Structure formats: C-alpha cells, structure tokens
Amino acid sequence: MSRCSGCGGCVSSCMVWAIEMDENKKAKRNDLSCMSCRECEKVCPEGAINYGKVKG
C-alpha cells in the first residue's frame, strides 16, 4: 500500500465497511466482506486502489 496517503476516503466510501486503517495508517481491505463494487477505487485520490483491490 505504498501509494496510500491514509486519507481515509475509501473507508467511508465502502458501504459494507470492508476497509479499515491498519496500524501504519494504510488502508486495509477485508476480502471476505468486499463485494467488488469499486466505489473505493473511484474516491481514492492517490490511485492506490485498482479493481477493488488495495494495492501493496
């Protein structure tokens, strides 16, 4: 998640609460909850998320 700036935008964009911030203030996605709607991808200002996945 090197590109994640920790803005938290994706966390509030996710309607199923599948994203939380980890101990390093980087977005972390719960694969079991994610339904791949890609809403988080649209709101991320850093382009850190692609195809609903939080990039490493």
Burial label, 15 (beta-carbon count in 10 A; 0-12, 13-18, 19+)? exposed
CA distance 10 to 50: 12
Shortest Cβ 24–ligand SF4 spacing (Å): 11
Q: Which is nearer to ligand SF4, 19 or 24 (CB)?
A: 19
Question: Tokens 């694969």 appear where?
Answer: 31
Contact footprint for ligand SF4 (CB under 6 A): 4-10, 13-14, 16, 18-19, 27, 29, 34-40, 43-46, 48-49, 52, 54
Shortest Cβ 36–ligand SF4 spacing (Å): 5
